[in-house]
């Protein structure tokens, strides 16, 4: 009786290393994000996150190389390469989406519902301390006009309610959205306008964004304008426009519940 020796094809080393690098890249990305979240936000502290994606890109290239070797030489490990490649795609999806936003949205980090006369941020001691002495700079008029094309729905909120009631609704909307209200002034006085200043933080990286809201009385009710400005970088990836939209939805919901 003769034994038949069966030689199995070796597992592709490129597939093995692609999975290892993909898992390592995932670990580094998660750790870098956690470190960034619990530290002081800055552009320099984004470097470890960007560096982690070097491993992700290398892992995706190795996975593609593994597919080629497996096809040509019949090596095993296609499942390993598929796992690595899918993990890389998952990690690269936010980067690809960010690149799409960079190519399609206006280069802004400050969005206002009033592009002609944006609400001004408070310069009180309380507001300046909370913003670490920072006052968001004015945006040139031509860039504000570009905002109208990129974010056509960022418009003033007009309510058929007295300004005092609109102020209370705007303040409640800020609290419901989880924003930190720094200070407020009810409508009245010389200008007749009320205002609110607040701070919001992004969900993933916990970046600080500054918000100011102006409430003006009208003959038929009131008008609310909101301005949201990012502290870090010159492009907000649409975050401020989304925040304004969320505020508008919350205000309308509170009006309906009255």
Instruction: Write down the pLDDT at residue 191.
Output: 65
The reply to whether 116 and 229 lie within a common domain is yes
DSSP string, the chain: --PPP-PPPPBPHHHHHHHHHHHHHHHHHHHHHHHHHTS---SGGGHHHHHHHHHHHHHHHHHHHHHHHHHHH--B-HHHHHHHHHHHHHHHHHHHHHHHHHHHS-S-SEEES-SSSPPPPP-SHHHHHHTTT--PPPPPHHHHHHHHHH-TT---EEESS-HHHHHHHHHHHHHHTT-EEEEEE-S-TTT--EEEEEEEE-SSS--EEEEEEEEEEETTEEEEEEEEEESSSS--TTHHHHHHHHHHHHHHHHHHH-
- Report yes or no: 249 and 256 within 8 Å, Cβ to Cβ: no
- Report yes or no: 215 and 187 within 8 Å, Cβ to Cβ: yes
Count of domains forming the chain? 2
Instruction: Write down the pLDDT at residue 180.
Output: 95
Q: What is the pLDDT along the chain (258 residues), one digit of tens a residue?
A: 555 544 456 777 888 888 998 999 899 888 888 888 877 777 777 788 888 888 899 999 988 888 888 887 777 778 888 898 999 999 999 989 989 998 889 899 999 999 989 999 999 999 999 988 889 988 888 888 888 888 999 999 999 999 999 999 999 999 999 999 999 999 976 668 999 999 999 888 888 999 999 999 998 899 999 999 999 888 889 999 999 999 999 999 999 987
Is 3 domain-assigned?
no
Is 2 domain-assigned?
no
Is 215 domain-assigned?
yes
The reply to whether 224 and 143 lie within a common domain is yes
Tens digits of residue pLDDT in 21-72: 899 989 988 888 888 887 777 777 778 888 888 889 999 998 888 888 888 7
Cα diameter, the chain: 107
Is 7 domain-assigned?
no
Instruction: Write down the pLDDT at residue 8.
Output: 59
- Among residues 47, 72, 104, the one where a domain terminates is 104
The values of phi and psi at residue 78, to 5°, are -65, -35
Is 247 domain-assigned?
yes
Residue 95's domain comprises 13-104
Cα dihedral: 37, 40, 46, 48 (round 10): -80
The reply to whether 125 and 215 lie within a common domain is yes
Q: Which residue(s) pair with 224 in the sheet?
A: 157, 215
pTM, two decimals, is 0.82
The reply to whether 214 and 128 lie within a common domain is yes
Residue 258's CB is within 10 A of a number of other CB atoms, namely 7
The CATH number of whichever domain residue 184 belongs to comes to 3.30.530.50
The reply to whether 70 and 92 lie within a common domain is yes
Q: Which residue(s) pair with 201 in the sheet?
A: 208
The reply to whether 34 and 142 lie within a common domain is no
Instruction: Write down the pLDDT at residue 47.
Output: 82
Q: Which residues are CB-contacts of 44 (< 8 A; sequence separation ≥ 6)?
A: none
- Among residues 104, 131, 148, the one where a domain terminates is 104
Residue identified by tokens 């007295």 is 162
- Among residues 51, 86, 104, the one where a domain terminates is 104
The reply to whether 120 and 233 lie within a common domain is yes
Tens digits of residue pLDDT in 156-168: 999 999 999 999 9
């Amino acid at each position: 009786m003769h034994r038949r020796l069966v030689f199995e094809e070796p597992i592709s080393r490129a597939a093995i290393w692609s999975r290892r690098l993909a898992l390592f890249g995932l670990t580094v990305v998660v750790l870098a994000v956690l470190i960034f979240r619990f530290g002081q936000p800055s552009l320099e502290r984004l470097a470890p996150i960007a560096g982690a994606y070097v491993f992700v890109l290398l892992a995706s290239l190795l996975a593609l190389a593994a597919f080629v070797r497996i096809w040509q030489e019949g090596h095993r490990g296609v499942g390993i390469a598929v796992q690595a490649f899918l993990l890389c795609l998952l990690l690269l999806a936010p980067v690809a989406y960010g690149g799409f936003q960079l190519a399609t949205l206006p280069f802004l980090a400050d969005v206002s519902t009033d592009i002609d006369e944006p609400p001004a941020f408070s310069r009180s001691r309380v507001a300046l301390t909370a913003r670490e002495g920072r006052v968001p700079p004015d945006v040139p008029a031509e860039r504000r006009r570009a905002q109208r094309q990129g974010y056509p729905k960022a418009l003033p909120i007009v309510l058929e309610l007295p300004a005092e009631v609109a102020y209370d609704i705007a303040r409640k909307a800020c609290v419901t959205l989880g924003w930190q209200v720094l200070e407020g002034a009810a409508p009245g006085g010389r200008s007749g306008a009320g205002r609110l200043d607040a701070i919001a933080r992004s969900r993933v990286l916990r970046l600080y964004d500054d918000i100011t809201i102006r409430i003006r009385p009208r003959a038929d009710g009131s008008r609310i304008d909101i301005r949201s400005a990012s502290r870090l970088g010159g492009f907000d990836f649409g975050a401020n426009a989304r925040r304004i939209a969320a505020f508008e939805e919350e205000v309308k919901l509170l009006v309906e519940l009255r």
